[in-house]
């Protein structure tokens, strides 16, 4: 059972992350100090460091929260998957895109992406395991269709999921980094890429 103290600590942690989100979105990661974040969250600097030992640790927590929110968006599709594999995979990645648009300011997405591939994050290695949680959810959905014969049996659900995840990466990244790609255009491009990829994964001698 969660104690009152634990609930208060969780609430304060969320408030600090909210403050960091607001400031980094407005100023950028490098221009935002821990002192700035403490002031925005209305906590002492010592208290902030008690929650997050460094700005890098705080950024890791922001990235974790972002992944958690994306997984929550995808869980709706996992629990009630469409009958068709293309529609199902498109629904999953559209849910990610919709959640991204609703919850995450574009500037913060750009900052997270830039820092995630910086030296501080071992050029992407430190965030790979976090991002693979999304790939794992994609695999879970693919296992549903694989078991129903909608995917060729000589391809594993893991292989099919990786192909689908690769197929949507560019459209989703172009939208996230604000390269002039709208949400609807990104979702349409993802669906088309998935359709092409899954046509190649259709059972031999049949269709999806």
The verdict on residue 88 lying in a domain is yes
Range of the domain at 34: 1-53
Of 10, 37, 53, the position where a domain reaches its end is 53
- Residues 91 and 16 both lie in one domain: no
- Residues 37 and 65 both lie in one domain: no
Q: Which whole-number Å values give the CA distances from 164 to 63, 106, 141, 150, in the listed order? A: 22, 24, 11, 14
Spell out the per-residue pLDDT of the chain, length 208, in tens.
Answer: 778 788 889 999 999 999 999 999 888 888 999 999 999 999 999 999 999 999 988 988 988 898 899 999 999 999 999 999 999 999 999 999 998 888 888 788 877 777 766 666 565 566 677 778 898 999 999 999 999 999 998 999 999 999 999 999 899 888 888 888 899 999 999 999 999 999 988 886 555 5
Q: Confirm if 196 and 167 have CB atoms less than 8 A apart.
A: yes
The verdict on residue 205 lying in a domain is no
Domain count for the chain, please give it. 2
The whole-number pLDDT of residue 193 equals 95
- Residues 18 and 99 both lie in one domain: no
CB neighbourhood size of 118 (10 A): 14
- Residues 135 and 92 both lie in one domain: yes
The whole-number pLDDT of residue 107 equals 81
Helices and strands, counts by H and E, the chain? 9, 0
The verdict on residue 196 lying in a domain is yes
- Residues 23 and 72 both lie in one domain: no
The whole-number pLDDT of residue 122 equals 62
Report the residue count for the chain: 208
Tokens of 200: 């190649």
The verdict on residue 206 lying in a domain is no
Tokens of 71: 């997984």
- Residues 5 and 89 both lie in one domain: no
The residue written with tokens 């694989």 in the block is 146
Q: Confirm if 208 and 190 have CB atoms less than 8 A apart.
A: no
Q: What is the dihedral angle through the alpha carbons of 178, 183, 189, 193, rounded to the nearest 10 degrees?
A: 90
CB neighbourhood size of 60 (10 A): 18
The whole-number pLDDT of residue 78 equals 96
- Residues 122 and 81 both lie in one domain: yes
CB neighbourhood size of 47 (10 A): 13
The verdict on residue 128 lying in a domain is yes
The whole-number pLDDT of residue 125 equals 65
- Residues 33 and 113 both lie in one domain: no
Q: What is the pTM of this model?
A: 0.83
- Residues 77 and 152 both lie in one domain: yes
CATH, residue 34 = 1.10.10.60
The residue written with tokens 């995917």 in the block is 151
- Residues 165 and 96 both lie in one domain: yes
Tokens of 113: 């992406």
- Residues 83 and 49 both lie in one domain: no
The verdict on residue 72 lying in a domain is yes
- Residues 36 and 97 both lie in one domain: no
């Amino acid at each position: 059972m969660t104690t009152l103290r634990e609930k208060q600590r969780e609430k304060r942690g969320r408030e600090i992350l909210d403050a960091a989100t607001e400031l980094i979105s407005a100023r950028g990661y490098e221009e935002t100090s821990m002192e700035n974040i403490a002031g925005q969250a209305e906590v002492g600097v010592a208290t902030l460091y008690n929650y997050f030992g460094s700005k890098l640790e705080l950024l890791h927590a922001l990235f974790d929260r972002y992944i958690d929110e994306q997984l929550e968006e995808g869980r709706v599709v996992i629990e009630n998957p469409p009958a068709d594999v293309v529609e199902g995979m498109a629904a999953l990645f559209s849910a990610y895109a919709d959640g991204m648009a609703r919850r995450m300011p574009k500037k913060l997405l750009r900052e997270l992406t830039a820092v995630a591939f910086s030296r501080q994050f071992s050029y992407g290695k430190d965030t790979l395991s976090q991002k693979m949680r999304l790939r794992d959810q994609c695999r879970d959905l693919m296992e549903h269709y694989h078991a129903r014969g909608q995917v060729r049996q000589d391809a594993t659900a893991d292989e099919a999921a990786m192909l689908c995840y690769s197929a949507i990466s560019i459209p989703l990244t172009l939208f996230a980094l604000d390269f002039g790609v709208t949400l609807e255009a990104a979702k349409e491009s993802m669906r088309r890429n998935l359709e092409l990829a899954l046509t190649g994964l259709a059972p031999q001698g049949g269709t999806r």
